């Protein structure tokens, strides 16, 4: 039996303006089955900020390793 999903978290690479968020929100809301999209203001303790920092560190490490060769 496969898992069933009820929600999806989207993490943006960078903080963006409210105008851009509205465009992204509208696009996601057009997807079949999406009931609601709720934007979240960037705060230092939320999941998205932690993910962004993690991926920036990983990218930086990969770049350093590529340059090391």
Residue 27 structural domain: 18-68
Q: Which residues contact 33 (CB under 8 A, 6 or more apart)?
A: none
Nearest to 8 by CA among 42, 54, 47: 47
Q: Is residue 49 part of a domain?
A: yes
Q: Is residue 63 part of a domain?
A: yes
Q: Is residue 10 part of a domain?
A: no
pLDDT in tens, 17-27: 999 999 999 99
Single pTM value for the model: 0.57
SS3 content of the chain, % helix, strand, coil (to 5): 50, 0, 50
Q: Is residue 31 part of a domain?
A: yes
Residues 13 and 52 sit within 8 Å (Cβ to Cβ): yes
* Average pLDDT of span 30-46: 84
**What was the pLDDT predicted at 21?**
93
| CA angle (52, 46, 5) in 5-degree steps | 85
Total domain count for the chain? 1
């Amino acid at each position: 039996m496969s898992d069933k999903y009820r929600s999806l978290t989207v993490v943006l690479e960078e903080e963006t303006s409210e105008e851009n968020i509205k465009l992204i929100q509208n696009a996601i809301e057009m997807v079949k089955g999406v009931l609601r999209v709720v934007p979240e203001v960037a705060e230092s303790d939320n999941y998205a900020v932690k993910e962004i920092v993690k991926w920036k560190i990983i990218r930086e490490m990969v770049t350093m390793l590529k340059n090391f060769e």
